Amino acid sequence: MASFNIDFPGTSNQFVVSANSAIKNKGGVFDGNANAGSFSIQTLIGPVKGTYQVVSEQDSPQTKVAITITRKPLIVPISKIKEVISAYF
């Protein structure tokens, strides 16, 4: 497992809408709310699965989100996963 934080330029509710749309548009699965949830995305070399937890105040104008990757392809470094996931938002 590996963890990292991302900063989303909006509220936690906006984060959920954006994350849900971005992940589902890539063929993935998103299940969560403005506090926490999980996601999975299939890549050409295997699935990436993880969880998230909003760590800032719910109505904050910028949202800090803690991402934990629970499964990833062995050959993909966590830095690349962070880069790709951050680009979704």
pTM beyond 0.85: the answer is yes
Say what the pLDDT of residue 54 is. 95
Say what the pLDDT of residue 30 is. 95
In 1-89, the DSSP E strands lie at 2-8, 29-32, 36-43, 46-54, 63-71
Q: Residue 35: which region, alpha, beta or left (left: phi > 0; alpha: psi -120 to 50)?
A: alpha
Say what the pLDDT of residue 1 is. 78
Say what the pLDDT of residue 89 is. 66
> pLDDT digits over 8-61, tens only?
999 999 999 999 999 999 899 999 999 999 999 998 888 999 999 999 877 778
- Type of residue numbered 33: N
Structural domains present in the chain: 2-87 (3.30.310.80)
Nearest residue to 1 via CA among 54, 52, 50: 50
Say what the pLDDT of residue 82 is. 87
- CA–CA distance, 64 with 56 (Å, rounded to integer): 5
